[in-house]
Amino acid sequence: MASKDRILRLKEETRVNILEAALDIVKEEGWQALSMRKIADKIEYTAPIIYEYFANKEAILLELNRQGYLKLAKELQQAKDAHATPAEQLEAMWLTYWNFAFANKELYQGMFGITTSCACEMVNKLPEAELPWDIITASIGELMKIEDMDSEIICTKYYTFWSIVHGLVSINLLDRGNSDAINRQVLRDAITGIIRSITP
């Protein structure tokens, strides 16, 4: 039994090593440079061993994106839990979203297809991709006093927030933005403006 546990642990360690190597390559050279051969070289394994864990490069990308959404959701939930009112929660969550994007630049680019030709249709089908939506829309519904979470109004307001925050993130990830201080002020102004506009 101990031997079986050890084998399972070694397999999980190898899987983690593959994903970490993939992300390291992306950080050093960009998403376009990622290949199964480079991953194998980085962890000093043969390419066929990598294929035992992931069918192809797209499967690795999908798993990295899944982990990215889980991490983002965890950080959003922590930001939400630290505040009592929905307005405070929304401001904290969108600032957390912004911080996540820059602390995890490569993951964020992969999750949303910025500077990478990711298979976004596949990424969007990940159940984990819905987690940020679920966490944030609950606060929007509470603020607006709307119980129907499938309401078109909640959906519209979520995308109003997301369009502005994601747009600012994208501009800055592509190095076309202003100073960090200006960007944060624009971000706060936009978030608080939307919150005021949807507060009954």
Entry pTM: 0.88
Residue-wise pLDDT for 118-147, tens only, equals: 544 555 678 999 999 999 999 999 999 999
Q: Say if residue 46 is in the same domain as residue 127.
A: no
What would the mean pLDDT of 157-180 be, rounded to a whole number?
84
- Rounded-to-integer distance, Cα 87 and Cα 92, Å: 9
Q: Please report the pLDDT score of residue 177 as a whole number.
A: 56
Q: Please report the pLDDT score of residue 108 as a whole number.
A: 93
Which pair of tokens denotes residue 21?
């190597």
Q: Is the pLDDT of residue 13 over 80?
A: yes
Q: Say if residue 133 is in the same domain as residue 162.
A: yes
Q: Say if residue 13 is in the same domain as residue 82.
A: no
Q: Say if residue 127 is in the same domain as residue 151.
A: yes
Give the residue from 27, 54, 81 where a domain finishes.
Answer: 54
Q: Say if residue 181 is in the same domain as residue 148.
A: yes
Q: Is the pLDDT of residue 15 over 60?
A: yes
CA–CA distances in Å: residue 192 to residues 146, 177, 195, 196: 20, 21, 5, 6
Q: Is the pLDDT of residue 16 over 60?
A: yes
Q: Say if residue 46 is in the same domain as residue 80.
A: no
189: domain CATH number? 1.10.357.10
CA atoms within 13 A on the CB side of 24: 12
Phi/psi at 184 (5° precision): -65, -35
Give the residue from 13, 32, 54 where a domain finishes.
Answer: 54
Q: Which domain holds residue 13?
A: 1-54
What would the mean pLDDT of 143-170 be, rounded to a whole number?
93
**Poorest-confidence range of 43-57, 162-176, 185-199?**
162-176
Q: Say if residue 95 is in the same domain as residue 136.
A: yes
Which pair of tokens denotes residue 168?
């600012």
Q: Say if residue 113 is in the same domain as residue 37.
A: no
Q: Say if residue 6 is in the same domain as residue 72.
A: no
* Closest alpha carbon to 118 in 63, 166, 40, 51: 63
Q: Please report the pLDDT score of residue 8 as a whole number.
A: 87
Round the average pLDDT of the chain to a whole number and report it: 89
Q: Is the pLDDT of residue 71 over 90?
A: yes
Q: Say if residue 184 is in the same domain as residue 96.
A: yes
* Closest alpha carbon to 35 in 49, 52, 47, 20: 47
Q: Please report the pLDDT score of residue 197 as a whole number.
A: 94
Contact present, 79 and 92 (Cβ < 8 Å)? yes
Contact present, 39 and 29 (Cβ < 8 Å)? no
Answer left, alpha or beta for residue 175, where phi above 0 means left and psi between -120 and 50 means alpha. left
Q: Which residue has the higher pLDDT, 100 or 175?
A: 100
The domain tally of the chain equals 2
Q: Say if residue 21 is in the same domain as residue 82.
A: no
Long-range contacts, 85-90 (Cβ 8 Å, 24+): 86/139, 86/140, 86/142, 86/143, 87/143, 87/195, 87/199, 89/139, 90/136, 90/139, 90/140, 90/143, 90/161, 90/191, 90/195
Residues 6+ apart with CB under 8 A from 151: 141
Give the residue from 18, 37, 54 where a domain finishes.
Answer: 54
34: domain CATH number? 1.10.10.60
Residue ranges in 104-179 assigned as alpha helix (H) = 105-112, 120-124, 131-144, 152-173
Q: Say if residue 15 is in the same domain as residue 113.
A: no
